[in-house]
Structure 1
Amino acid sequence: MSGFLLHLLRHGAPEQPGLLMGRTDGAPCPTGIAACVEQVAEIPFAAIVASDLGRASAAAQAIGAQRALPVTVDPRWRELDFGAWDGLAPAAIDNDAMGRFWNDPDACPPPQGERWSALTARVSDALDTLPARDTLIVTHGGAIRAALAVLFGFDQRHLWAFDLPYGALLSLRVWRGTPRSAQIMGLWP
């Protein structure tokens, strides 16, 4: 069995980059959308899925319009909810609290925020319901890292080693089954 290709595209730059935007739906900038369209110009896929947040779904809609493909919007591909920190710059948050979060986002989530395990659970569920065909998912850095945790069992130290700037594309080959199996095919910043 050959599996299927899963392309995970981080949304392009929002109008206010560098903030912790989980549930905050920061508007995408036109150059960020254009960068996403360009990033996947040579990548074949048969389906497009996007987070329901505008910074991801706007790029997905632009890609879908160019390819005459419908976009399935799925809120399970949202970014981690940063709770009280949502919409803030990391520099505006207590360094110790931020450090505890980065070291263990499940044990030390942001105040009123989402635990890492909740994010990985919803991304795992979203992965289970994908069609077994080559698919592009336009999503967020946290959801991409959650997919890596689910598919490969990477721990936090490994996940933060991946540089996923705005518009980054991570391509995987995925095989269904228990346990799931996947292979990293490429990462393009």
Structure 2
Amino acid sequence: MGISTMHKAEDLRRSSDIMKKVYLVRHAKTIMNYTNRWQGRSDSDILPGAIEKLLSSIKSIENEGINKIYSSCIGRAIKSAAAAANVLGLNSIFLDCRFNERDLGLLEGKTVDEIRTKFGIEFLYITSRDIEKLPYVESWPDFVSRVFSGLESLPDGRTLLITHGGVLRAVYNTLSHSDERRVIFDNGDILVLNKTDSWDIERIIK
């Protein structure tokens, strides 16, 4: 499993100075992921074998001293978190709906081609502001604010957070000050954050 360093911990902070370290993990792959349908807050079953692939990611960080596990309130994340908890030897999972995927309203359950045909939206990606023209789609600023509110409430120490691709994207784009779309967060990928005075991206584990 490859590790790419985003910000070398060259800020010379000792690990003992870090108040929070959070491992954000995208849930195991689902049927809607496999069929390239926009999932949002909708849910679908996890594919056979997908949990095993997720757990290979979790095993790469099992010796990093993680002592709490959080999950979004959506079924695919909760199931993934339960499997991860077994690997890490943790007995409790804490749910926080602020880590739910972006609410995509009428787009949920549809493929990119179906969305383009039905709604005439050309540029389709999770950070798009064009999709906010449709009813019930959560605005990007509201989504980002919700996610960071959740991060701020996490306890000090090392926490595993099982969440969604849009959440990883919201955190990555905000902290990197970019609208980057070339970095893809696949199921099981891990975005590692540190916080002392402010949040920093430590690395991405693929």
Pick closer, same or farther for the CA change 1:171–1:103 going to 2, 3 Å: closer
TM-score, with length taken from structure 1: 0.86
| Aligned partner of 1:57 among 68, 78, 82 | 78
Structure with the bigger RCO (C-alpha within 8 Å, sep 6+) is 2
What are the residue-to-residue correspondences of 1:144-155 with 2, within 5 Å?
144-150=168-174, 152=175, 154-155=177-178
- Report the counterpart of residue 117 of structure 1 in structure 2: 141
How many angstroms does 1:108 deviate by?
Answer: 4.1
How many angstroms does 1:83 deviate by?
Answer: 0.8
| Distance in structure 1 (CA, Å) of the matches to 2:192 and 2:178 | 19
Secondary structure of the 1:163 match is coil
2:170 is the counterpart of 1:170? no
2:45 is the counterpart of 1:21? no
| Distance in structure 1 (CA, Å) of the matches to 2:98 and 2:126 | 24
Letter in 2 for 1:14: T
What percentage of aligned pairs have identical amino acids? 24
Secondary structure of the 2:59 match is coil
Does the 8 Å contact 1:19/1:90 carry over to 2? yes
Greater Rg over alpha carbons, structure: 2
- Report the counterpart of residue 128 of structure 2 in structure 1: 105
Superimposed CA distance per residue, residues 85-112 of structure 1 (whole angstroms, 9 cap, x where no aligned partner): 101111211175141x549634642622
Superimposed CA distance per residue, residues 44-103 of structure 1 (whole angstroms, 9 cap, x where no aligned partner): 21111111111111010111123331111111111111111101111211175141x549
- After TM superposition, which residue ranges in structure 1, 4 or more long, deviate above 4 angstroms? none
Does the 8 Å contact 1:170/1:187 carry over to 2? yes
Pick closer, same or farther for the CA change 1:81–1:171 going to 2, 3 Å: same
| Aligned partner of 2:98 among 59, 73, 76 | 76
Does the 8 Å contact 1:21/1:86 carry over to 2? yes
For structure 2, the 5+ residue unaligned runs are 1-16
| Distance in structure 2 (CA, Å) of the matches to 1:9 and 1:104 | 18
Letter in 1 for 2:78: S
Does the 8 Å contact 2:24/2:191 carry over to 1? yes
How many angstroms does 1:119 deviate by?
Answer: 0.9
Does the 8 Å contact 1:37/1:63 carry over to 2? yes
Q: How many residues are paired up?
A: 181
Letter in 2 for 1:41: K
